[in-house]
């Protein structure tokens, strides 16, 4: 059960597994004392002395006192020489802020964050601490929520200009976390298009390290996440601490090691190219950051994240609802289709049991390639003479639901929209526009652009009767400027863009509560907890090669759950790598997320088409366990030739085990996988072999996975607990 206990000058947030403790110091500095395994009580003095202070009585007026104090929301400029959570230009041009504890309030539940996605829930407790600068009147409200059911703390800050003069925020982090030692490895996720989210692990060293983006999106290259793991921490043992930002734009995730081997984590909106003017009375709400802690290794950390997102972030309507098995037209047809071709693909998919057919890019304007028509969301009558309505009706008549692709945040220079509203594109007046994929980004900070996008999407959904929308976004910012903002607010644009995007998402998800929206950004280029508040699933990567997907899905699972990963079985040779992998392996790997197809089923042999029927049935039958069960990573593709994982249903009566070999090996013994998460007292039958084993032997001795010859061989096993 979550609780917040006030013991004198200590605030102790805790639940069954974690504690988070802050302390009001004698001069009202707010110190951070502890985050980790649940404690019954704690004397803060040893922690504060270990931080290097000779005298814990005075930090503020002791020379360099603040530089050694672990703090909740530190600011550079009054003795703390480290990177701070808050950067500000005061009215007098100085940057110092003296934040002193003013008051604290606790409440049951969790208030929403104005204009921003955030975790929610009834079974949680929230502490709000107000700090104030006596000189300028600036106030900071720090918010902390502890949940009943997972080892997580949600944090955010609200900066209020309660002074008489305007100030400019130069940076406002969502969290700072001061830790007493630096004996940690830092883990981040980095990549590129078609190679998203590779984990990188290295020991912390003195100075700064971390990841960040400045491209306008959480990005293909980095993820708004970092983890600290003890050097000895392994997949299922040892301390691991994870931090993630519920945000989709520019971010900074930094770990810095300072004197006395102390570590400071900062996570929030990137402070480079950021400035936000606060008039008297104005406030600025930071996005939410989330901290999780586990003693069960990286696996425990991931499961804490998964549990938190599924229980407290993903859209309620969709989180546990059936996600239809879909077939997406992109790799089946690219831009080359007409109504009859799409209907014929959908009919073939329907025969295999596929439940939803999605028409991807190329249905509007005169878009026969990617050089044109974004923004002109009127159907191309040459391809679809009967319009969206007739196409949608014919697809539904074929026995599948209809879904549609849009890239609503973009405009092609060759479009009616751009010719009518060139100022709607992000640009710097007087400078030549820079296209990427032949397109500009619409300025989502503008109310008129937001209205246009809501209208265009609403009309498309109504006209087509679509049950599903693939919301794509395929370029980063450049020439960052807005014709709607005055010079002293231009650097607000990246954040205002994201606020505009969220406002649009809010309006659309309210207007179409039953519409399933899948996010996409050149694959997984904006696959972050911020987007997952609005869309329950995200296209994990444009790379559908089974072996590459093992790596991408493994890395993604460090902080995002299988239920959020769009994952499709595609044709061979694979369109991104040219590799040929067995159909069974492509199936087993695609089952690691929201399952679907990315191919033209008419081009499959009759035998393969029959296999598809079995696949769809299996995917539907095992959906709850695969998507919402507890995930245990058993073999890492980054550590060897095999990838393996198991998902176990909450009641431990069903499990799905997947093992994939990379390159074929001669004379190799089959993997003996030590399973995880089963009930050691239960017996489990492997449905594919008919053999029964005890849970304990499967976990402590292992399950043999004989692999066929050839590259990319795999085994997919379904375990069912025997009735007692
Ligand atoms: C990028 C996406 O990731 C692809 O799946 C596809 O929708 C294309 N865009 C369409 O342009």
Whether residue 518 lies inside any domain: the answer is yes
Contact 11, 25 (CB under 8 A): no
Nearest CA to ligand 1 atom 2: 522
Query: How far apart (Å, rounded) are the C-alpha atoms in residues 242 and 579?
Result: 35
Average pLDDT over residues 185-204: 98
Spell out the residues 6+ positions from residue 419 whose beta carbon is closer than 8 angstroms to its own.
Answer: none
Q: What are phi and psi of 416, to 5 degrees?
A: -60, -40
Query: How far apart (Å, rounded) are the C-alpha atoms in residues 674 and 76?
Result: 49
Closest CA to 268 of 342, 334, 210, 333: 210
Question: Counting atoms of ligand 1 from 1, which one is nearest the CA of 521?
Answer: 3
Whether residue 614 lies inside any domain: the answer is no
Q: Are residues 351 and 394 in the same domain?
A: yes
Contact 172, 73 (CB under 8 A): no
Query: How far apart (Å, rounded) are the C-alpha atoms in residues 31 and 19?
Result: 15
Q: What is the pLDDT of residue 57?
A: 54
User: How far does residue 363's CA lie from ligand 1's centre (Å)?
Assistant: 13
User: How far does residue 253's CA lie from ligand 1's centre (Å)?
Assistant: 28
Environment class of 499 (CB within 10 Å of its CB; exposed 0-12, middle 13-18, buried 19+): buried
Characterize the bridge pairing of strands 516-519 and 537-539: parallel
Q: What is the pLDDT of residue 65?
A: 78
Q: Are residues 348 and 203 in the same domain?
A: no
Environment class of 411 (CB within 10 Å of its CB; exposed 0-12, middle 13-18, buried 19+): buried
Q: What percent of the chain has pLDDT over 70?
A: 98
User: How far does residue 38's CA lie from ligand 1's centre (Å)?
Assistant: 45
Is 412 close to ligand 1, i.e. is its CB under 6 Å away?
no
Q: Are residues 79 and 226 in the same domain?
A: yes
Q: What is the pLDDT of residue 483?
A: 96
Q: What is the pLDDT of residue 260?
A: 86
Q: Are residues 298 and 348 in the same domain?
A: no
User: How far does residue 292's CA lie from ligand 1's centre (Å)?
Assistant: 33
Nearest CA to ligand 1 atom 6: 330
Confidence of residue 26 (pLDDT cuts 50, 70, 90): confident
Q: Are residues 338 and 465 in the same domain?
A: yes
* Residue range of the domain that includes 225: 3-313
Query: Cα angle at 655 between 650 and 657, to 5 degrees?
Result: 140
Give me 222's structure tokens. Answer: 């980095």
> What is the tens place of the pLDDT at every residue in 231-281?
999 999 999 999 999 999 999 999 999 988 999 999 999 999 999 999 999
> What is the tens place of the pLDDT at every residue in 121-174?
999 999 999 999 999 999 999 999 999 999 999 999 999 999 999 999 999 999
Q: What percent of the chain has pLDDT over 90?
A: 95
Q: Are residues 279 and 362 in the same domain?
A: no
Spell out the residues 6+ positions from residue 73 whose beta carbon is closer than 8 angstroms to its own.
Answer: 30, 85, 86, 99, 131, 140, 142, 157, 176
Torsion from C-alpha of 79, 82, 84, 89, nearest 10 degrees: 60
DSSP H or E stretch at residue 2: none
Kindly tell me if the per-residue pLDDT of 63 is higher than 80: no
Question: Counting atoms of ligand 1 from 1, which one is nearest the CA of 370?
Answer: 11
User: How far does residue 470's CA lie from ligand 1's centre (Å)?
Assistant: 9
> What is the tens place of the pLDDT at every residue in 495-507?
999 999 999 999 9
The gap between the terminal CA atoms of the chain, to the nearest Å, is 32
Is the peptide bond preceding residue 544 cis, with omega within 30 degrees of 0? no
Kindly tell me if the per-residue pLDDT of 89 is higher than 90: yes
Confidence of residue 50 (pLDDT cuts 50, 70, 90): confident
Q: Are residues 288 and 139 in the same domain?
A: yes
Q: Are residues 309 and 334 in the same domain?
A: no
> What is the tens place of the pLDDT at every residue in 424-440?
999 999 999 999 999 99
Query: How far apart (Å, rounded) are the C-alpha atoms in residues 254 and 261?
Result: 16
Is 472 close to ligand 1, i.e. is its CB under 6 Å away?
yes
Nearest CA to ligand 1 atom 11: 361
Contact 564, 309 (CB under 8 A): yes
Contact 359, 346 (CB under 8 A): no
Q: What are phi and psi of 448, to 5 degrees?
A: -65, -35
Residue 133: active-site member: no
Query: How far apart (Å, rounded) are the C-alpha atoms in residues 367 and 437?
Result: 13
Average pLDDT over residues 436-453: 98
Confidence of residue 724 (pLDDT cuts 50, 70, 90): confident
Whether residue 617 lies inside any domain: the answer is no
Q: Are residues 85 and 8 in the same domain?
A: yes
Q: What is the pLDDT of residue 668?
A: 92
Q: What is the pLDDT of residue 448?
A: 98
Closest CA to 260 of 195, 174, 182: 182
Q: Which ranges in 443-582 belong to alpha helices (H)?
A: 447-464, 493-511, 529-532, 546-556
Is 474 close to ligand 1, i.e. is its CB under 6 Å away?
yes
Query: How far apart (Å, rounded) are the C-alpha atoms in residues 576 and 426?
Result: 31
Whether residue 582 lies inside any domain: the answer is no
Output b/e per residue, 50-76; b: 16+ Cβ within 10 A. Answer: ebbbeebeebbebeebbbbbbbbbbbb
Query: How far apart (Å, rounded) are the C-alpha atoms in residues 705 and 720?
Result: 17
Q: Are residues 289 and 420 in the same domain?
A: no
Is the peptide bond preceding residue 573 cis, with omega within 30 degrees of 0? yes
Query: How far apart (Å, rounded) are the C-alpha atoms in residues 510 and 717?
Result: 40
User: How far does residue 455's CA lie from ligand 1's centre (Å)?
Assistant: 22
Residue 472: active-site member: yes
Instruction: Specify the CATH number for the domain of residue 703.
Output: 2.60.40.1180
Closest CA to 503 of 217, 115, 114, 118: 115
Is 361 close to ligand 1, i.e. is its CB under 6 Å away?
yes
Q: Are residues 308 and 368 in the same domain?
A: no
DSSP H or E stretch at residue 538: strand 537-539
Instruction: Specify the CATH number for the domain of residue 498.
Output: 3.20.20.70
Confidence of residue 79 (pLDDT cuts 50, 70, 90): confident
CB-hemisphere CA count at 13 Å for 96?
Answer: 11
Question: Counting atoms of ligand 1 from 1, which one is nearest the CA of 542?
Answer: 3
Is 527 close to ligand 1, i.e. is its CB under 6 Å away?
no
> What is the tens place of the pLDDT at every residue in 362-419?
999 999 999 999 999 999 999 999 999 999 999 999 999 999 999 999 999 999 999 9
> For 548, which DSSP code?
H
Is 623 close to ligand 1, i.e. is its CB under 6 Å away?
no
User: How far does residue 523's CA lie from ligand 1's centre (Å)?
Assistant: 7
Q: How far is CA 707 from CA 333, 393, 614, in A?
A: 34, 45, 21
Is 360 close to ligand 1, i.e. is its CB under 6 Å away?
yes
User: How would DSSP label each residue in 177-210?
Assistant: EEES----EEEEEE--TTS--EEEEEE--SEEEE
Beta bridge partners of 537: 518
User: How far does residue 106's CA lie from ligand 1's centre (Å)?
Assistant: 46
Average pLDDT over residues 79-101: 95
Environment class of 477 (CB within 10 Å of its CB; exposed 0-12, middle 13-18, buried 19+): buried
Contact 79, 64 (CB under 8 A): yes
User: How far does residue 607's CA lie from ligand 1's centre (Å)?
Assistant: 29
Domain end residue (candidates: 508, 539, 570): 539
Confidence of residue 313 (pLDDT cuts 50, 70, 90): very high
Whether residue 302 lies inside any domain: the answer is yes
Q: What total number of domains does the chain contain?
A: 3
Is 392 close to ligand 1, i.e. is its CB under 6 Å away?
no
Is 405 close to ligand 1, i.e. is its CB under 6 Å away?
yes
Confidence of residue 49 (pLDDT cuts 50, 70, 90): confident
Is 520 close to ligand 1, i.e. is its CB under 6 Å away?
yes
Instruction: Say which of 472, 528, 600, 642 is annotated catalytic.
Output: 472
Is 537 close to ligand 1, i.e. is its CB under 6 Å away?
no
pLDDT, averaged across the chain = 96
If one residue of 404, 405, 552, 597 were mutated to test the ligand 1 pocket, choosing by the most ligand atoms within 8 A of its CB, it would be 405
Instruction: Say which of 67, 133, 376, 542 is annotated catalytic.
Output: 542
Nearest CA to ligand 1 atom 9: 522
Whether residue 627 lies inside any domain: the answer is no
Question: Counting atoms of ligand 1 from 1, which one is nearest the CA of 523?
Answer: 3
Domain end residue (candidates: 263, 295, 313): 313
Query: How far apart (Å, rounded) are the C-alpha atoms in residues 253 and 211?
Result: 5
Average pLDDT over residues 653-662: 98
User: How far does residue 419's CA lie from ligand 1's centre (Å)?
Assistant: 25
Is 533 close to ligand 1, i.e. is its CB under 6 Å away?
no
Is 363 close to ligand 1, i.e. is its CB under 6 Å away?
no
User: How far does residue 132's CA lie from ligand 1's centre (Å)?
Assistant: 48
Domain end residue (candidates: 288, 313, 338): 313
Average pLDDT over residues 536-564: 98
User: How would DSSP label each residue in 394-414?
Assistant: HHHHTTSEEEEEE-TTEE-SS
Whether residue 556 lies inside any domain: the answer is no
Spell out the residues 6+ positions from residue 173 whose beta carbon is closer than 8 angstroms to its own.
Answer: 85, 86, 157, 252, 266, 267, 268, 269, 271, 286, 289
Is 330 close to ligand 1, i.e. is its CB under 6 Å away?
yes
Question: Counting atoms of ligand 1 from 1, which one is nearest the CA of 405?
Answer: 7
If one residue of 470, 520, 535 were mutated to test the ligand 1 pocket, choosing by the most ligand atoms within 8 A of its CB, it would be 520
Whether residue 162 lies inside any domain: the answer is yes
> For 221, which DSSP code?
S
Q: Are residues 381 and 459 in the same domain?
A: yes
Instruction: Specify the CATH number for the domain of residue 187.
Output: 2.70.98.60
Contact 635, 661 (CB under 8 A): no
If one residue of 194, 404, 474, 540 were mutated to test the ligand 1 pocket, choosing by the most ligand atoms within 8 A of its CB, it would be 474
Is 539 close to ligand 1, i.e. is its CB under 6 Å away?
yes
């Amino acid at each position: 059960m979550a609780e917040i206990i006030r013991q004198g000058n200590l605030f102790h947030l805790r639940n069954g597994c974690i504690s988070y403790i802050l302390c009001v110091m004698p001069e009202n500095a707010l110190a951070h004392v502890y985050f980790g395994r649940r404690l019954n009580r704690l004397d803060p003095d040893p922690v504060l002395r270990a931080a290097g202070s000779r005298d814990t009585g005075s930090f503020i007026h002791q020379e360099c006192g603040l530089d050694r104090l672990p703090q909740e929301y530190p600011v550079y400029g009054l003795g703390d020489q480290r990177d701070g959570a808050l950067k500000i230009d005061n009215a007098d041009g100085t940057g110092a802020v003296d934040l002193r504890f003013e008051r604290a309030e606790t409440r049951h539940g969790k208030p929403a964050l104005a204009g921003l996605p955030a975790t929610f829930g009834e079974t949680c407790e929230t502490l709000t601490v107000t700090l104030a600068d006596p000189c300028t009147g600036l106030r900071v409200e720090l918010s902390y929520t502890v949940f009943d059911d997972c080892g997580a703390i949600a944090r955010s800050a609200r900066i209020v200009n309660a002074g008489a003069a305007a100030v400019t925020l130069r940076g406002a982090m969502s969290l700072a976390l001061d830790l007493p030692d630096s004996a940690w490895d830092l883990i981040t996720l980095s990549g590129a298009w078609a190679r998203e989210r590779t984990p990188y692990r290295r020991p912390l060293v003195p100075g700064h390290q971390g990841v960040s983006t400045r491209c306008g999106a959480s990005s293909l290259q980095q993820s708004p996440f970092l983890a600290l793991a003890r050097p000895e921490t392994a997949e299922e043992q040892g301390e691991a601490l994870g931090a993630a930002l519920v945000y989709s734009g520019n971010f900074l995730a930094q770990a810095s090691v300072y004197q006395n081997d102390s570590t400071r984590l900062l996570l929030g909106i990137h402070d480079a190219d950021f400035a936000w003017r606060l008039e008297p009375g104005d406030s600025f709400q930071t996005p939410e950051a989330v901290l999780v802690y586990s003693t069960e290794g990286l696996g425990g950390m991931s499961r804490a994240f998964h549990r938190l997102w599924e229980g407290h972030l993903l859209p309620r309507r969709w989180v546990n609802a059936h996600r239809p098995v879909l077939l997406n037209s992109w790799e089946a047809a690219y831009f080359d289709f007409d109504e009859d071709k799409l209907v014929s693909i959908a009919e073939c998919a329907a025969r295999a049991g596929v439940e939803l057919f999605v028409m991807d890019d190329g249905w509007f304007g005169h878009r026969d390639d990617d050089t044109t028509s974004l923004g002109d969301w009127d159907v191309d009558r040459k391809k679809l003479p009967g319009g969206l309505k007739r196409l949608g009706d014919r697809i539904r008549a074929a026995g599948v639901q209809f879904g549609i692709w849009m890239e609503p945040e973009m405009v092609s220079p060759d479009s009616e929209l751009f010719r009518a509203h060139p100022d709607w594109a992000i640009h710097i007046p007087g400078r030549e526009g820079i296209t990427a994929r032949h397109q500009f980004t619409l300025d989502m900070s503008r109310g008129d652009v937001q209205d246009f996008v809501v209208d265009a999407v609403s009309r498309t959904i109504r006209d087509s009767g679509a049950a599903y929308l693939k919301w794509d976004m395929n370029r980063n910012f450049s020439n960052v400027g807005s014709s709607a903002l005055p010079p002293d607010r231009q650097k607000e644009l990246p954040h205002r863009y994201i606020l505009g995007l969220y406002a649009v998402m809010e309006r659309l998800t309210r207007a179409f509560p039953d519409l399933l929206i899948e996010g996409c950004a050149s694959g997984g280029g904006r696959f972050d907890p911020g987007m997952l508040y609005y869309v329950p699933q995200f296209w994990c990567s444009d790379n559908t090669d089974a072996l590459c997907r093992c790596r991408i899905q493994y890395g993604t699972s460090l902080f995002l759950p299988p239920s959020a990963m769009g994952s499709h079985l595609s044709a061979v040779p694979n369109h991104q790598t040219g590799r040929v992998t067995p159909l069974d392996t492509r199936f087993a790997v695609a089952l690691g997320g929201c399952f679907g197809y990315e191919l033209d089923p008419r081009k499959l042999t009759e035998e393969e088409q029959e296999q598809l029927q079995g696949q769809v049935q299996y995917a539907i039958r095992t959906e709850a366990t695969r998507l919402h069960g507890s995930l245990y990573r058993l073999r890492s593709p980054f550590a060897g030739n095999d990838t393996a994982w198991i998902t176990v249903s909450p009641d431990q009566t069903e499990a799905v085990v997947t093992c994939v070999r990379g390159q074929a090996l001669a004379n190799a013994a089959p993997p003996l996988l030590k399973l995880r998460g089963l009930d050691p007292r239960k017996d489990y039958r492997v449905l594919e072999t008919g053999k029964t084993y005890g849970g304990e032997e499967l976990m402590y001795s292992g399950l043999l996975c004989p692999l066929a010859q050839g590259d990319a061989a795999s085994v997919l096993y379904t375990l069912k607990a025997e009735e007692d």
